[in-house]
Amino acid sequence: MRVWIDQDLCTGDGLCVDHCPDVFVQLDDGIAYVAVRGEPLNDPGGSGSLADVAERDIAAVVQAADVCPGECIFIELEPTFDEMTGS
Ligand code: SF4
């Protein structure tokens, strides 16, 4: 599972960081970004910066997307084997 944030819609309330600080960070601009091993993916951000979500963080990331007031946390699921092979 991978996740990204549309920074144009982010309200900067920080709820995602509260839910999963391993995956979400808030920078000096007050906006949230996804992060990998503590490194924010803010260049370019948006759909150009997807973070892989570790198994242990999946539930928290889904919860964060659920409560996000900007509705700007987007989750992309890995395609299944059948989807990849078309069978
Ligand atoms: S919960 Fe959503 S709106 Fe709030 S800081 Fe995180 S991404 Fe932005």
Residue 79 has pLDDT above 80, yes or no: no
Mean pLDDT value across residues 57-83: 92
Can you give the pLDDT at residue 87? 67
Is the bond leading into 44 cis (omega within 30 degrees of zero)?
Answer: yes
The reported pLDDT for the residue numbered 78 is: 78
Q: How far is the CA of 64 from the centre of ligand 1 (A)?
A: 8
Q: What is the pTM of this model?
A: 0.91
For the chain, the average pLDDT equals 94
- Of 55, 73, 60, 56, nearest to 11 by C-alpha is 73
- Tell me the C-alpha to C-alpha distance, in Å, between residue 83 and each of 1, 3, 51, 80, 86: 15, 20, 22, 5, 5
**Cα–ligand 1 centroid distance for 81 (angstroms):** 32
Which strands, in side-by-side order, build the sheet including 32-36?
24-26, 32-36, 39-40
Percent over 70 (pLDDT), the chain: 95
* Residue 17: CB atoms within 10 Å: 17
Ligand 1 pocket: which of 47, 72, 74, 75 to mutate (most atoms <8 Å of CB)? 72
What is the per-residue pLDDT across 1-42, written as a single tens digit (0 to 9) for each?
999 999 999 999 999 999 999 999 999 999 999 999 999 999
Domains and CATH numbers, the chain: 2-85 (3.30.70.20)
Give the per-residue pLDDT at 53. Answer: 96
**Distance separating alpha carbons of residues 79 and 6, to the nearest angstrom:** 22
The answer to whether 74 touches 61, Cβ cutoff 8 Å, is no
